[in-house]
Amino acid sequence: MEALVALAEGDEGVRSVGVTEYVNQFFDVIDDDVPWHWRGWSCFTPREVGALDQVQRLMKAACAATPQKLTDADFISSGWPTRLQPAAREALALMNARGRFSEVNEEETPSGT
């Protein structure tokens, strides 16, 4: 959920964390090129997986369409943060509606807001 916050903030999200962190925070968890299979995690509902998949597709397109090294201002002017923002907001809203799982105790359902 934390990785979606900057994406949901659009241009301001890039300004607050920087383009490198903006991209890396998301792909640190939601990535198909790693040994874990996030789509099968029980902490995500099918609707959340669909929303995260949409964000992931847009993030991959943004990465493919922009140089690997660029400034925050260059990434913002590319328009990608604005294009990513609605999908990230939707995914974050879905997850916030259900709540947060405890980072201390294992839970069947999220107990936090």
Per residue of the chain (113 residues), give pLDDT as tens. 788 999 999 999 999 999 999 999 999 988 877 667 888 888 789 999 999 999 999 999 999 999 989 999 999 999 999 999 999 999 999 988 877 666 777 777 767 66
Domain range for 61: 2-98
Residue 64 is assigned to a structural domain of this protein: yes
Which residue type is seen at 103? E
CA 82 to chain centre: 14
Domain membership flag for residue 13: yes
> How many structural domains compose the chain?
1
Residue 43 lies in a domain: yes
Cβ atoms < 10 Å from Cβ of 11: 17
6 by DSSP, 3-state: which? Answer: helix
Q: What burial class does residue 34 get, using C-beta atoms within 10 Å of its C-beta: 0-12 exposed, 13-18 middle, 19+ buried?
A: exposed
Residue 56 covered by a domain: yes
Q: 85 lies in a domain? A: yes
In this prediction, residue 6 carries a pLDDT of 96
* Domain-embedded: residue 108: no
In a domain, 71, yes or no: yes
Whether 113 is covered by a domain: the verdict is no
Task: Return the closest-CA partner of residue 79 out of 92, 64, 66, 93.
Answer: 66
